[in-house]
Amino acid sequence: MDNQKYITETIKLMQNHRSIRKFTKDQIPKEQIVEIVKAAQGAATSNFVQAYSLVMVTDPIKKEQLSELSNHQQQIIDAPVFFVFCADMKRLEFATGKHDIPMQYDTLENFIVSIVDTSLFAENFLTAAESLGYGGCYIGGIRNNPKQVSDLLNLPDKVMPIFGMTLGVPAENHEVKPRLPIDAILHENEYTTENYQRLLDQYDDIFRDYYKTRTSNAKDMTWTQTMATFFSQKKRTHMKEFVETKGFHLY
């Protein structure tokens, strides 16, 4: 089947996404960042609560500190700008306070809403930036030390750093990492696992070929091997306590 007639420039851009970790010295004009943020705000948001905030970090000292707190990631220092995406219920506290209504925010549902809102906003943000020729990489490492990140950025209660993002003009252009086969993620009318073994075997072959032949950091590894290793240990178990310190008790 020839699907090329369905491939728009937007779809092509999204299908060619790859994480960029090396950047040129070029800066991003503040005016462009503003327009990227406006585009990101077009993302869907549950009940229009818009439960997110974005901290733009350009201060070299703070970028170095954030790099240290995120497992010493050099790309945070090298990128012209680093963004921290935050789930934010604080602004909503001010909104409900205007009407003298106590806000019932610390439920699991509201926590999920804030995470989803922030993630949708961030994906729009990166897609808009890529359409202008920039590249970036999500940084989950800020959750290694979320309290210290919060203190450094003066994040109040009800505001949590979820992930960061480096952004700049790419100084590298490597291959797109192959995603799972469509049949492994697209279910019609009901969920089924009957083809997972065959599809995962197929994907492991594709993934191994990609890793062995890519232009940088080549290795002999399959996707299921990487997942088995990744999920062999519990990660960031401090997050539950941190979330509670921010006021989310998840009732």
Which residue ranges form the domains of the chain, and what is each CATH number?
A: 4-174 (3.40.109.10), 177-214+217-233 (no CATH)
Which segments within 93-199 are labelled E, that is strand?
135-139, 159-168
137-195 confidence digits (pLDDT tens)? 999 999 999 999 999 999 999 999 999 999 999 998 888 999 999 999 999 999 999 99
On whether the CB atoms of residues 19 and 48 are closer than 8 A, the answer is: no
Prediction pTM value: 0.95
**pLDDT of residue 219 exceeding 70:** yes
**pLDDT of residue 1 exceeding 70:** no
Residues 211, 169, 56, 31, CA torsion sign: negative
Residue 86 forms beta bridges with which residues?
53, 161
User: Which stretch of DSSP H or E encloses residue 54?
Assistant: strand 52-57
DSSP string, 69-85: HTT--HHHHHSSEEEEE
Of the pLDDT bands very low, low, confident and very high (cuts 50, 70, 90), residue 109 is: very high
Tokens at 91, concatenated: 């602004």
**pLDDT of residue 236 exceeding 70:** yes
**pLDDT of residue 2 exceeding 90:** no
Q: Return d(Cα 202, Cα 207) in angstroms, integer.
A: 9
